[in-house]
Structure 1
Amino acid sequence: MEISDKSVCGIDGLTCKDIRYNATFTWSYFFMNVLATIIASYGLLANSPAVVIGAMIIAMLLGPIMGLGLALADSDMILFREGIFTLIKGTIGVVATAFIIGVFNKEIPLTNEILVRTAPNLFDLMIALAGGAAGAYTAISPRLNTGIVGVAIATALVPPLASASILLSRGEVTLAMGAFLLAFTNMVAIQFAASIILWINSVQSASKIGVFELKKVLRRNLVSICILILLGTFLSSNLQQVVSKNLFETSTETILGKEISSSSGSYLTETRFEQTPNITIVRAVMRGPNPPSAKQVGIMEDSLPTPPDGTRIELRVRFVQTTIINRDGLLYSDVNFTTTG
């Protein structure tokens, strides 16, 4: 397909040809995405960030999304339909492959690499917008072609889709929807950012820019803009919840550490949080010469901050007796907390 001199990619149109080609469905595109999914799925199940990064590099879902950005910047509905068709087929291949792998590996526990992709927030949206802009700028700047590897990693699409499918294969629908939301957020943000960057390149090449041209490209991206506003609102709420939760957990650990260390020879070794519908359970592991009494546990519980979701807090202490000895003998007695030596 010939590219006119008015293309958003510049006068020669060579970059546009590359973007259009990468947005076209081929079996090699489909096969590479399946291979990327196999690598990503086993990397997720093995909890290996390095393997997951390898899958990001060879995945090809970025191509049709860049094609959608070009289509909306250049008002090319034929390319838009081709990009949508290619993206949907590639996504189906990824989801189906990961689901099959998930079914045959149900005995492997869910890893942090999977779970970390189930709670997207505003930071993920910002990363995707920046990644989409970087991808478009890399595509139109021959000197920056090597940067596409970094873009592929920053705007990861296959790992969240694979995570969602693995979770679906185990019936974890809520967690799977979170991973799907992350993938969808990346897709929309990349497309919008790419469209704007490609349009800016076109008006710079033609030495023309004005309110009318800006209105046209924004109108073509109206659906994307509306989706991004909704996503931004929802993901901002998610970010606020994450920050509140982290502050609560950090404050709780600090208070418990001080309270427990005030008893001679005792110290906090681990704190875990468990959420139930009405209670936030704080499980603390302490070591020392003597266990705390129920009254002492109650006093510590009363000193803890209120959980951000407003649930009642319950402290459960697991005590591990520890004997501390120096050259003079026992440093602490195991009954009366009296020091020796």
Structure 2
Amino acid sequence: MSEDIKDHKEITRANIRVNAQLDVPFLAMNTLAAIIASYGLLANSAAVVIGAMIVAMLFSPILGLALGLVEGEKLLVRHAIKSLIVGSILVYFTAFLIGFLHSDIPITPEIMARTAPNFLDLMVAFAGGAAGAYATISPRLSTSFVGVAIATALVPPLCASAILLGHGNFELARGAFLLTFTNIIAIQFVSSVVLWLNGFHGFYFWQKSSIWELLKRNVISLVLLLLLVVALSYNLQKVVARQLYESKVIRVVGEELLNYPNLRLIRVNIDEENGIQMVRVMVGGLEKPDAKGFVRQLEKRLAEEDKTRPAAVRLRYVQVDVFDRDGEVKAIAERD
């Protein structure tokens, strides 16, 4: 091993240890990141949320924890865990206060997007963690943009959970917190693997370590990951099944509307209530349809398509008046 590589590894170790420490800049920057991210979430601004991550520092203690576990440095592990816990609590408390003070602001899509973690989120966390760890140890790469990308996987879902808790929505808050926990575990474990593969085996560069030693030191993370894989895979399966069902419903509604040439579909909403799929269909037209016959036929078709999901249809009709430059057009087909 060349002297340059040895020196670079020692410098990298020193930087990771310093950045994992709990100090005033760490607390200040994470507080500011939480404030910016929280208001970005409430304003439904993805740009603000991403921009807030430039000042976030939660990745540093995770990387410190990864290095400590790989090299068996118990003191670094303790310091990193302390920094991660205190930093996360500070971010959560800050976002909770903002969510509580602005509980009159409706929950935005940016917040909702972080409340239902699945297996795809775990894969994103793996890739982000690997990129961040590799950028940290490589002299050719900058960690700036990679750090921002990883921060978006940590601070926004944590802030989303706190805001939802401030709104009193415990179920959605739990989902957003699970996403944060998933990202932390995945980023830490994959960072440990990347560090180990790149020769960070011990405090001194000549020390050796087997893969079994790596797994033993990361046994808690590995067990948690396996549990998360099962849970998130189940969540992904539910999401996919629901999307397929919604596509099926929209197709059936469209086919049934072919029997009503004067009607056009406006939207379809599907909610589950007491184990029954409530299919709410809104249509527009010039003439009121045979609502009773349409609803019965649609419920019959849905039962034939999927016998495992009982469905109840609710139809809403909106009177549509179509005009052209010369006056009212009676045939709705002319809209097309």
- Alignment TM-score, normalising by the size of structure 1: 0.88
Q: Secondary structure at the match of 1:304?
A: helix
Measure how far apart 1:258 and its partner are.
Answer: 2.3
CA separation of 1:208/1:252 partners in 2, compared to 1, >3 Å: closer, same or farther?
A: farther
Change (3 A) 1:208 1:309: farther
1:137 aligns with 2:134: yes
- Deviations, residues 123-182 of structure 1 (Å, cap 9, x unaligned): 11111111111111000112211x542443245211111111111112211111111110
Query: Kindly tell me: are residues 32 and 177 of structure 1, through their superposed partners in 2, closer, same or farther at Cα, counting changes over 3 Å?
Result: same
* 2:58 aligned to which of 58, 61, 72: 61
- Per the alignment, residue 299 of structure 1 pairs with 297
> Which one is further off, 95-104 or 307-316?
307-316
Corresponding residue for residue 102 of structure 1:
99
Once the 2 structures are TM-superposed, how far is the Cα of residue 78 of structure 1 from its aligned partner?
Answer: 0.6
Match of 2:315 in 1: 317
Name the stretch that deviates more: 302-311 or 281-290.
302-311
Percent of matched pairs sharing the same residue:
42
* Counterpart Cα distance in 2 of 1:95 and 1:77: 27
Quote the Cα distance in structure 2 between the aligned partners of 1:131 and 1:114.
Answer: 21
For 1:272-283, list aligned pairs within 5 A. 272-283=269-280
Whole-Å Cα distance in 1 between the matches of residues 197 and 239 of structure 2?
35
Q: Which amino acid aligns with 1:149?
A: F
CA deviation string 1:81-105 (max 9, x = no partner):
0000000110110011011111110
Q: 2:261 is matched with which residue: 261, 264, 278?
A: 264
**1:11-33 deviation digits (Å, cap 9, x = unpaired):** 44011111111100111111110
Name the amino acid aligned to 1:318. R
After alignment, is 157-166 or 314-323 more displaced?
314-323
Deviation at 1:330, TM superposition (A): 4.3
SS at match of 1:91: helix
1:177-203 CA deviation, whole Å, 9 max, x = no partner?
111110001101111011110111117
Give the corresponding residue for 1:332.
Answer: 331
CA distance in 2, matches of 1:160, 1:277: 29
Shift of 1:275: 2.2
Q: Aligned with 1:317: secondary structure?
A: strand
Deviation at residue 323 of structure 1 after TM alignment? 3.7
- Choose which of 65, 71, 75 in structure 2 pairs with 1:74: 71
Aligned length: 326
RMSD of aligned residue pairs (Cα, Å): 2.8
Answering whether residue 148 of structure 2 is matched by residue 152 of structure 1, we say yes
| Preserved CA contact (<8 Å) 1:56 1:157 | no
Cα 1:151–1:245 change in 2 (3 A) is: farther
Name the residue aligned to 1:217.
Answer: 214
Structure 1 distance, partners of 2:43, 2:72, is 44
Which letter maps to 2:313? L
Please list, as runs of the form range in 1=range in 2, the aligned pairs for 1:17-96 lying within 5 A after superposition.
17-96=14-93
How has the CA–CA distance of structure 1 residues 133 and 306 changed in structure 2, closer, same or farther, with 3 Å as cutoff? farther
Residue number among 216, 223, 229 corresponding to 2:226 in the alignment: 229
Counterpart residue identity of residue 127, structure 1: V
Tell me how far apart the structure 1 counterparts of residues 328 and 98 of structure 2 sit (CA, whole Å).
57
* CA-CA distance at 1:305 after TM superposition: 5.8
Please tell me the residue identity of whatever aligns with 1:332: A
Cα separation, partners in 2 of 1:203 and 1:44, compared to 1, 3 Å: closer
Q: Matches of 2:160 and 2:310 in 1, distance apart?
A: 32
> Cα distance, 1:312 vs. partner?
2.6
**C-alpha distance in structure 1 between counterparts of 2:233 and 2:38, whole Å:** 29
> 8 Å contact 2:37–2:156 — kept in the other structure?
yes
- Partner SS state of residue 292, structure 1: coil
Contact 2:287–2:319, Cα closer than 8 Å, also in 1: yes
Find the aligned partners of 1:309 and 1:195 in 2 and give their Cα distance.
47
When the two structures are superposed, what TM-score results if normalisation uses the length of structure 2? 0.89
**Residues 157, 239 of structure 1: CA spacing in aligned structure 2 closer, same or farther, 3 A cutoff?**
same
SS of the residue corresponding to residue 202 of structure 1 reads coil
Distance 1:291 1:10 in 2: 80
